[in-house]
Amino acid sequence: MYPDFYLLFVALMIGAVIGAEREYRSKSAGLRTMIMVSLSSCLFTILSLRIGVDNHDRIAANILTGLGFLGAGVIFKDENRISGITTATTIWMTAALGMAAAAGYVMLSLIGTVIVLIVLIVLIYIQAWIEAKNQARSYRIVCHFRQQTLDDYEELFKTYQMQVVRSVQHKTEHKISGRWILIGSATNHKKLTQDLMNDQDILELNF
């Protein structure tokens, strides 16, 4: 059986290592947040074991419930995508590692920390490679109304090997606007953007 202060120190180091990676990438939950998540989860778990509650899993369940609110606070939606999900799940994982340390599974918590770092540091390059090959972007085009205006642009998307996921069109008296979510490679997105920016018929372009 490990002494409690040693388990708290292990939890502190776990939170510090994971938090340093999040801080380096300027994420909303950084060094201090991850340390506090790991330490608090560790301390709550130690107390649940020491107090002698009949069902220890009740404390663990309450820890995860509380972290659900914390994780929801770092998730936000911008125009094209939802951000913060990785940070939210990292908070959950950091809490789990702190709980594992408190329960005496020190080696398991340390191995788990290494796995988390591999996921956060190494796999980001694989993710970037996948996004370069296949990424989604939103485009909005406003131009003077003609019968085939937006159909022409959809044909243009096909020439750049873009897959149309969703399209919305809106017509006013003299103008027509279209919004598309397109999936394609980063290179083709760049070429398409340059082509659209050089189009004199486009009054407004958002991408």
Average pLDDT over residues 47-76: 72
> Contact, 84 vs 28, CB < 8 A?
yes
Q: Which domain holds residue 18?
A: 4-131
Residues 49 and 147 in one domain: no
Q: Specify the DSSP class assigned to residue 202.
A: E
Q: What pLDDT, on a 0 to 100 scale, did the predictor assign at position 61?
A: 72
Residues 81 and 141 in one domain: no
Residues 126 and 139 in one domain: no
- Counts for the chain of helices (H) and strands (E), in that order: 8, 6
DSSP-assigned states of every residue in 25-93: TT-SS-HHHHHHHHHHHHHHHHHHHHHT-S-HHHHHHHHHHHHHHHHHTT-EE-SS-EE-HHHHHHHHH
Residues 22 and 98 in one domain: yes
Residues 97 and 147 in one domain: no
- CA 141 to mean position of chain CA atoms: 28
Judging by beta carbons within 10 Å of its beta carbon (0-12, 13-18, 19+), is residue 78 exposed, middle or buried? exposed
Residues 169 and 92 in one domain: no
Residues 114 and 14 in one domain: yes
Is pLDDT at 79 greater than 60 in this prediction? no
Q: Report the number of distinct structural domains present in the chain.
A: 2
**Is 24 or 29 the better-scoring residue by pLDDT?**
24
> Contact, 53 vs 23, CB < 8 A?
no
Local structure of 132: helix, strand or coil: helix
CA distance linking residue 189 with residue 180, whole number of Å: 13
Residues 32 and 94 in one domain: yes
Is pLDDT at 80 greater than 60 in this prediction? no
Average confidence score pLDDT of the chain? 86
pLDDT tens digit sequence for 135-187:
888 999 998 887 667 888 888 999 999 998 878 888 887 888 899 999 999 99
Residues 41 and 100 in one domain: yes
Q: What pLDDT, on a 0 to 100 scale, did the predictor assign at position 117?
A: 94
pLDDT tens digit sequence for 187-198:
999 999 999 999
Residues 186 and 165 in one domain: yes
CATH number at residue 201: 3.30.70.260
